[in-house]
Amino acid sequence: MKTALLFAGQGAQYIGMGKDLAVLFEDARCLFSRCNEILNYDLTSICFEGPDDVLTKTENAQPAIFAVSWVAFELLKKNLPNLKFDATAGLSLGEITALTAAGVMKFEDGLTLVHKRGKYMQEACDRTIGAMVAVIGSDLSMVKQVCAECNVDIANLNCPGQIVISGEKEKIKKASDLLKARGIKRVLPLQVAGAYHSRLMESARPLLNKTINEIKLSDPVVPVISNVTALPYSDKNDVCKLLVEQLTSTVRWEDCVRYLLSQGFTRFIELGPGTVLSGFLKRIDNTATILNIGDVPSLEKTISELKK
């Protein structure tokens, strides 16, 4: 059975995430403390206690999700040291977690990169007035046509029947109205700071490029699937190009999963808070084995399943 590890993206965060893991496992407590030291502020208390408006800030949410995902990854390895995983993938910021798990960069560098990425994206949000909406139940061709008419971008292709569009707030409103006028009943505004994965993130690209070029990178030890291409990274030289491009490109998550399925992957383990990726996967292929680790109950259930 070929196993892929999937890492959570922004929007999965919630107050209290990771807390029960830290209470029960010393390794988790040590990792959270290490995150605080690396970032030089108390990320752990933001994860565990909030408040919500602080946790949801992009510069905090992204490293917080990375931290909880990494704790889940380390606990999986400790409990099942012989478990072999054959590929990794992650949604948006989760792609950096996936690269780190595949040995492309050190944990410390991955955490710092995610924090700086979140900061650059927050700054881009502050410079613009952006919005995002989820379009439920439309075909891609209609969404593409409306995006072209309204001059906005497709941010995410998550799973069948779920597309996210992103752009200037007024233009997104116009696009939403057009979609509804053309028969799409569910066009849902997302509670986000700005227009992620759109041209409005352009100002973050040179900053992220500089930051990545300061990190020592290695070739991945297992395939890592890129959000931009929905194909594996060729080597470490792809990393800067694709992560920078990802800021303003469509996250092709459904295509990433379909690529893994086409390569014979039948077991997927979602690592990090929530089960958003598991939900997407069920809509893409409900025959796949889907497990997740984000808290103590899900850890215990997944370890039990994998030991069978």
By annotation, the residues acting in catalysis are: 92, 197
Give me the helices (H) in 4-90, please. Answer: 19-24, 26-39, 43-49, 52-55, 58-79
Q: Could you tell me if 208 and 92 are in contact, meaning their C-beta atoms sit under 8 angstroms apart?
A: no
197: left (phi over 0), alpha (psi -120 to 50) or beta: left
**How far apart (Å, rounded) are the C-alpha atoms in residues 250 and 246?**
7
Buried b (16+ CB within 10 A) or exposed e, 211-238: bbeebebeebebbbbbbbbbebbeebeb
Structure tokens at 131: 């919005």
**How far apart (Å, rounded) are the C-alpha atoms in residues 196 and 23?**
34
230: left (phi over 0), alpha (psi -120 to 50) or beta: left
The three-class DSSP label of residue 106 is coil
